[in-house]
Structures are given as C-alpha cells and as structure tokens.
Structure 1
Amino acid sequence: MHEARPAGGPHHTRSTSRALPRPESARTPDAWTKDSCKTQGKTGKGAFPAAQQRKSAPRTTLGCIRLGCRKQGRVDEVRMSNTIGTRSIYRDCLIVGFAMFAVFFGAGNLIFPPQIGFVAGAGWAKALCGLLLTGMLLPVLTVIALGLCGGSVERLTAPIASWFGSALLFVSLVFLAWMIAVPRTASVAFETGFMTLAPSLNAHICVWIFIPLFFAVTIYFALDRSNVIDRIGRILTPLLLGLLGIIVIWSVLAPLGTPVDTGVAGAAPFGMGLITGYQTGDVFGGLMFGIIFIEAVRDRGYTDKTGFKTVLFGAAVVTFFGLLFVYGGLEYLGATGSGVLGSDVTQANLLTRLVAELAGRFGANALAIAVVLACLTTAVGATAVLAKYIVQWSGGRVSYRAGVWFVSLTSLVQSFGGVDHIVALAEPFFRLFYPAGICIVLLGILSCFFTNDGVWKGATLMAILMGFVDLILSVSGKMGIVVPTHLQAFYDALPLSSVGFAWLVPAIIGGVLGGVWWQIAGMPNVSHVDTF
C-alpha cells in the first residue's frame, strides 16, 4: 500500500495556490500502483483476459480495473494504452473530430463564407485568413481550453470566481442554446432546406409537419446518451461532408468565373473575415458543447493524461481542417460568382443562387439536404448537452430522457416563430458576453503563463464592461435613442473598434492592473497547471 499524496503535491505551482476538487470522471490511472494486482500474480495486460482487453470497449476494461482493484481498497497502475492500439486512436480522433465539426458547423455557417467571398472578390484569400482566426481556430481552441483546465466551464473560470462558470453556463445554455440555437436549427432546416426541395408545396401547411418530424429525429439521435457522438460522427457527419465536398470540389474544377475586383482593397477583406467569424458565436458553442466531446474521449478509455490529450488534440485538428475545407471552398465559390451574379442578391439566397448556377437543380437539392443535415447535427448536440445539464441542475430528479423530451418540445414551439424572430433575440446576448467568452478562452489556452487570478478577474471584468457599452450603443441606435456623444467618441477611438474588437485593449489593461493589484495584495491563486 502506498501513502496518500500530500495536499501540496504536484497539482500546485506555489504555496499560495488552492486546489480545485477533482471530479471522479477526471481521475487518471496515474494514482494507481502495480502492487494491488501483483498480489494476485498479475499486472499490466496479464491482469485481464486477452479477449476482454481487445474485444470489449475501452470503457468496459476501465470498469474491470476499478471493480477489480479499487473495491478492495487498492489501486492498480494499468495504463489504458495497453488496450488501445494506434489504429483505435486514429479512429477515435476521426469520430470525435467529425462530431465536433458537425456540431460547430451549423446551417448559419453555410451562409457566411460565400457571402465573404462574394463581397471580397479577388481579395477572398485575405478574407479567409481573417475567418480562419475567429471562425475556425477560436472555436476549436475553446474545446482544448476546457480539456486542459479540468473539462468543465466551472473549472476553466475558477480563477475569476467560484460562481462565475456556473452563472455563465446557465445564461448561455438557457438564452443562447435553448431559446435560440435549437429552435433556429429547425426553422432554417425548413425555410432553406425543405422548401428548396419542395418549392411547390404550401409552406404554411408543411411547417406543421416538418418541424415535429425534425425534432422526432433529433430525439431519436439524442436519447442514447452514450452513443450520441458515435451517431453524429459515424452517420450524420460523413453524409454532410460528402454533400458539401461535392459542391466544393465542383466549384474548384468548374468555377463559375474569375474572382473580380469588388473595390474592397487593402486590409479590408481580412477585417471583414475576422468580424464575420466573430459573429458566428461558435466560441460559446465550444464552451457549451465542449463537455460532450471531452466526455466522449474519456468514455473511450483515454483517462490517462497523455492519451486524453492525444485524442483531444487529434480531434481538434480534424475539426479545424474540416472547417477549413468547407469554409474555404464555399468562400472560393462566392468569389468566383462575384463577376457572375448582381450585387443585389441577398445573403440568404446567395448560396442557393451560386449552387444553382454551378450545378443546376441537382446542386440545389444537394445543398438543401446538406442544410437539413447541418441543422440536425447541431440540434442533436445541443439537445444532448442541455438534457445533461437539466439532470445536473435538478440534482438527478429529472432523468436524461425526460430532459431530451423537454428541450425538444419547448424548442419545437419556439421554432414556429421563424428564423428572423429567433435571430433578433440572439444579438443582445452576443454583444454583452461574447468578448468575455473569447477572453476566457485565450486565458485558458495560456493558463500556464497566467497563474495570477487578478489577471483573469481584471481582463474578464473589462471585457464584460465593454460588451455592455457595445450593447447600449447598438440598442440605442436601433431604437432611435440619443446616446452621449462622448461615449460614442470614446468607443470609436478605441483600437480595432471598426472590426468589433474595441474590448481587446481595455481587457489587456484590465488584466495587467488586476494582476498587479492581486500580487501586491498577496491573494491566493487557483492553479490550472496539471488539473486534468
């Protein structure tokens, strides 16, 4: 038997750090010893039958380890890498990565890239670089930040305040996912997908049939909590990627035309791509839905730190390149149509017009099916996460199955309001909280450098304050309310305000001042180092 680790072990970087409670799901086999199974004459692979090691799922093997050794008050250092081959790691990276791609790639993301390319024209490559940063890299980094900082929003935001993560997650899930994201998927799937496939049918009648069927399929995929990622990654995403791949490859092999100079010169295309990616809101998607990908990795048996990071980073790479392939292809399609279509084409109809010009009716139908699949994958992922948190918020009094049904039925009612109504509800939330979301993700990725809690507190506070200023200016402008001229002048004078990043410099200043004050006051810090 080995003695327990002292409280001031390697999970602390300095004596002033206070340890975070370690969730059971995050525990690793690192704490187990070889002695417990050696007493039975077994250790490592020999502790279990070979058939069980390879034929059973990694999840089952882990269960055997825990029941066989911990039940007797002992622990066993049996690495899960013994039962997980290289081929399985590659496969799991693809499955989790495909699912992550599908959940991030909502139907709204089909609209933005071609619009950027259409407006940028010959400058589409610069615009793609801007979109790459905020629309592809940041969302993927969000999931990585969660994985590196304990696997939950609460642990990620612990340096800010113990209650901050729970509050941010509750507001995000209720107002962004539940009231906006899930209902919008059904509305977009009907308006952009189904009605393209069946334009001659009566929309007022069909909507009452399509939306209930859409949520019935969502419920089917989301009900099996343990296999929701497999169902998205193995079934839905390959179909979605296949259809989008046909459109992208077709646009490259037989382009509509040559990208023309649209008058957007200099650095303007980059800024346009940057702000458009910022407006997708996928950073909050990562904060809300990242937990299902992290749990999916652990459920496959990767409970040691090295294996977990390998699969999580591998899945993130798959997601990033999937987004780059689709976003880049659709943006190029828009650029090739900049000299073909008139400038009066609307953003909502642009992609449909481009694909119809490119591939006729076949292309339009393929796009419509892709839209429905993109909406469905997002709806399934969001519903599964919301149901999981309903179970948590209710203290287990509400089952996961009941949560799935409740989310789906309430979202079904909201879906009948239409896309425009739902989208209008989202803007205030994004303006208020999105700067803080990006700030938290960046701090989480660089948590090994920012171990001073004052940096987190000061930067996040200033990001929220600047988000509030942005919200006031936006709402007052739409309602015709006159705001003080000095407030507008102050906002316009801030660096990067023209591309939506007016909060960045104040957040940096807030982080510096907060860190200095925290250090002088000698306050304790929450360590994010090695909190896996």
Structure 2
Amino acid sequence: MMKTKETLVTGFALFSMFFGAGNLILPPFLGFNAGPEWFLVALGFFISAVALPLLGILAHARLQGTMLDFANKVSPVFSIIYCLFVYAISISLPAPRTASVTHEMAIQPFFGSSSLLTSSIYFILVLVFVLNRSKILDILGKFLTPLIIGILLAIIGIGLFSVHPEMRPSGFETPVISGILEGYQTFDAIGAVVVGGVIIISLNLKGHDSFKAKKQLISRAGVLAGLGLFLIYLGLILSGAMSNAEFDEDITRTALLSGLSLNTLGNIGNVFLSVLVSLACFTTAVGIITGTADFMKGLLGESQQAYLATAIIGCILGVVMGQFDVHYIIDVALPALMFIYPITIVLIFLNVLPERFASKAVFRAVVIVTLIFSIPDFLSTVGLADKMQAVKDMIPFANYSIGWLLPVILTFAIANLLSRKSK
C-alpha cells in the first residue's frame, strides 16, 4: 500500500513538473488548426511530447545519476557543455514563459497589474519552494497536481459532451509532422532529462537507497505521468478541434484556451482557468529551477552555496524574461529547440537501449551526425532559410525540419555493424 501511494505521489509530481505553460496553450491550438485531422496531429504531438519524455524518465531510472550521465559516453567535456546549454535554455525560456502565461491569463484579466509585479511575486514564491528542497515531491504530488487534473477534466469533459458546429478543414499540409514540431515547444523531452534528476535526488533525500527499488518506482511513476499527459493532451486537442468553427481563425493560443474555458464552465470558467494556469505554470517553474540548482550544486562539489546562488539567479532571470509576451518567447525559443532537441532525442534513445547497442563509439558517431544535420534546421530559423534551401533539398525530410532523422538511423546501424565486426 505504501509503495502504491509513493508511486502515485511521485507520478503526480512528475506530471505537474511536465505540465506547464506550453502544455496548456499548445494542444488546443493544435487541434483548432487541425480540425477533422485532429487525430493525426495528436499522434505527432504524442511522439514528441509524451513518448520521448517517458523514455527520458525510463533512461533516468536506468542511470540513476545526474544529467551528466546522459552524454558522458560521448565525452565528459561534451557532457558538461550539453548540460550547461540545456539548463541555460531551461531557465531562460520555458521557466520565464510560465510567468508570462500566468500574467496574461490569470492576473491581467482581473487586476490589470504590470507584468513586472506578477513575475516578481511569482518567482519569489518559486524561490521559497525551491529552498524547501526536501518537501518538493510531497507538495507537488499530494496537493497541487490533483487540483490541476480536476480543473482540466472539468474543462475537457464538459467541452466534449457539448454541441458544436461542423469543423472547418485542416490548415496543415503534414499534420503528423506539425504535431511533432509543436510538441518541441512543450520542452518536455528536455524537461525529462531535467526533472528526472529532480526525482532521483528527491528520492535519495527521502532515504531510498536501493537501486532496484528506485528503478521500479521511477519507471512506474513515469508511466503514470505519461498516461496522464496522453489523456489530457488528447482531450485538449479534441476540444480545440471540435470548437474550431466557433472562434476566429486568427485567434491566439491564450485567447483560445480562455474561450474554451468560458464556453464550458461559464463566467466562473475564467476563475477556474486562472487557478489552473497559475498552478500548472508554477509547478513547472519549480521543477526547472530546482533541477538547475541541483545540477550546479553537484557540479561544484555538493556546495549548498552553489544551490542557493543558482536558484536566486534563475529566479531573477525569470523575472527579467517574464516581461516578454508569450508568443515572443515561443518564437525566440525555436532556433534553440531546432538545435538542441534532436541531440536530446538521440541521447534519450541511446540511454534507454541495452549496452550492447549503445557503446561509446555508437554514442559518439550518432551524436556527431545529429549535430551536423541539425545545423540546416537551426540556420533556417535564424533568417537564413533561403540560403539553406539548396542544402535542405539534398537531405531527405529536411524540408519537414527532421533532416537529421534518416542520417542518424543509418549511422546507428552502421556504427553497430562496425562495432560487432571489430569485436
């Protein structure tokens, strides 16, 4: 009974750390634009926003170290650079975005206060939670997540059983690919390698010392969190699709979510949505800042001063970046995501695979090829799309922003064949 309760608490805590700003505003908008093809975009979104994060948690359960272990087989130097880059992105973009979404959807409509005031109070509260490190898992898992899930189910459930006009046609040429790329914006694959470390350290602080027991607990909690994410995403995407004829085609992501909550829960819907947005965003920000502070503490010899300094710097950066518009932060994040996401994806896959398929030579070859073939996608998002077009035309699937995929699969196969031959 105790194990079941701890699995539920850990799974709920994982869910809450994953489920933040992007997870709320992206799925309904995806369904809204997909219309009748909502299932295809849901499939793509499931691949990048559910399956990959789940594999990331399973990799953590297998490694039970820090994020450094994800890339150590490439080289220790590369691992440190990769980790610093991921944590820098995490505290600079997805963490501040949670404050920006909270202000736009939960504070400004009621109080009309400045975004500076919102983000300042918001990250002071985040800092309080981060400094109470040993209690994070229980607070998130026992109290905040059930509230988030309850409000979400109310919005989705009422919306699905309401009468809607006929859907408008899909606006996507390749709905599955569009779903995959939109899933990038949730940061969930990156989130998996960040918050997975938070879970491991939290369990260690609670006195868990059995490798096998922790592996089982983390794996089960990951599956539970993944199932929760899948069902919520599916409901939000379908809600957006069923309502796509009820709103203007140029509606924004945040306005659509507000409209859906108003349609389902009436005037009180805005209050419920405000609570939902605030909780969902807050738990994610706590997970990101805690993960970053944990990493810097471990990197600098278990220094508590490093933990405190990183937490404070992360919160100050959150206040500064939280002043920007949500859609601006999403646009700014795209180039970084197009570069770091493919690397994160292949590292997750390689760390899940059995050792005989993922030697150091395989790690190095696959990661190098991923880096090379991610460059055209990255450059295309920073204003060089025209110059990159000739290159992308020569690479299979590059025009769908996944030009790295086929070269990586081939490299993985060839590296394994050569490795076996040399043995």
Normalising by the residue count of structure 2, what TM-score does the alignment of the two structures yield? 0.92
* Counterpart residue number, 2:202: 296
Distance in 2 (alpha carbons) for counterparts of 1:170 and 1:218: 21
Distance in 1 (alpha carbons) for counterparts of 2:165 and 2:177: 22
Distance in 2 (alpha carbons) for counterparts of 1:125 and 1:259: 16
Alignment CA distance shift 1:271-1:400 (3 Å): closer
* Counterpart residue number, 1:238: 146
Alignment CA distance shift 1:271-1:468 (3 Å): closer
Equivalent of residue 177 in structure 1, options 77, 90, 93: 90
Structure 1's unaligned 5+ residue stretches are 1-86, 523-532
Q: How many residues align?
A: 422
Q: Bigger shift: 132-141 or 294-303?
A: 294-303
Distance in 1 (alpha carbons) for counterparts of 2:166 and 2:211: 47
Residues 268-325 of structure 1 show CA distances to partners (whole Å, capped at 9, x for unaligned) of: 4333323322342211111122101122334444432332222112101220121122
Equivalent of residue 374 in structure 1, options 270, 273, 280: 280
**Residues 151 and 276, structure 2, Cα contact 8 Å, conserved in 1:** yes
- Superposed CA RMSD: 2.4
Select the structure that is richer in helix: 2
- The DSSP-based 3-state class of the residue aligned with 1:136 is helix
- The DSSP-based 3-state class of the residue aligned with 2:164 is coil
Distance in 1 (alpha carbons) for counterparts of 2:80 and 2:126: 26
Residues 346-384 of structure 1 show CA distances to partners (whole Å, capped at 9, x for unaligned) of: 333111122222332211221122111111101111111
Q: Bigger shift: 378-387 or 353-362?
A: 353-362
Please tell me whether residue 100 in structure 1 is matched to residue 4 in structure 2.
no
**Residues 258 and 270, structure 2, Cα contact 8 Å, conserved in 1:** yes
**Residues 461 and 510, structure 1, Cα contact 8 Å, conserved in 2:** no
Please tell me whether residue 407 in structure 1 is matched to residue 314 in structure 2.
yes
* Counterpart residue number, 1:146: 60
Alignment CA distance shift 1:274-1:513 (3 Å): same
Alignment CA distance shift 1:355-1:454 (3 Å): same
Alignment CA distance shift 1:453-1:471 (3 Å): same
**Residues 121 and 259, structure 1, Cα contact 8 Å, conserved in 2:** no
Distance in 1 (alpha carbons) for counterparts of 2:211 and 2:228: 26
Residues 460-514 of structure 1 show CA distances to partners (whole Å, capped at 9, x for unaligned) of: 1111111112112222347xxx5165313214xx13x354322110112222344
Please tell me whether residue 503 in structure 1 is matched to residue 395 in structure 2.
no
**Residues 68 and 79, structure 2, Cα contact 8 Å, conserved in 1:** yes
Distance in 2 (alpha carbons) for counterparts of 1:152 and 1:401: 18
* Counterpart residue number, 1:314: 220
Alignment CA distance shift 1:258-1:98 (3 Å): farther
**Residues 458 and 513, structure 1, Cα contact 8 Å, conserved in 2:** no
Alignment CA distance shift 1:451-1:325 (3 Å): closer
**Residues 356 and 364, structure 1, Cα contact 8 Å, conserved in 2:** yes
Write the letter of the residue equivalent to 1:490: M
Distance in 1 (alpha carbons) for counterparts of 2:74 and 2:370: 13
Write the letter of the residue equivalent to 2:281: C
Alignment CA distance shift 1:380-1:226 (3 Å): same
Identity %: 26
Normalising by the residue count of structure 1, what TM-score does the alignment of the two structures yield? 0.74
- The DSSP-based 3-state class of the residue aligned with 1:122 is helix
Alignment CA distance shift 1:293-1:258 (3 Å): farther
Distance in 1 (alpha carbons) for counterparts of 2:176 and 2:383: 29
Please tell me whether residue 350 in structure 1 is matched to residue 256 in structure 2.
yes
Following superposition, the deviation at residue 92 of structure 1 comes to 0.9
Alignment CA distance shift 1:278-1:181 (3 Å): closer
Distance in 2 (alpha carbons) for counterparts of 1:125 and 1:258: 18
Structure 2's unaligned 5+ residue stretches are none
Distance in 2 (alpha carbons) for counterparts of 1:508 and 1:95: 37
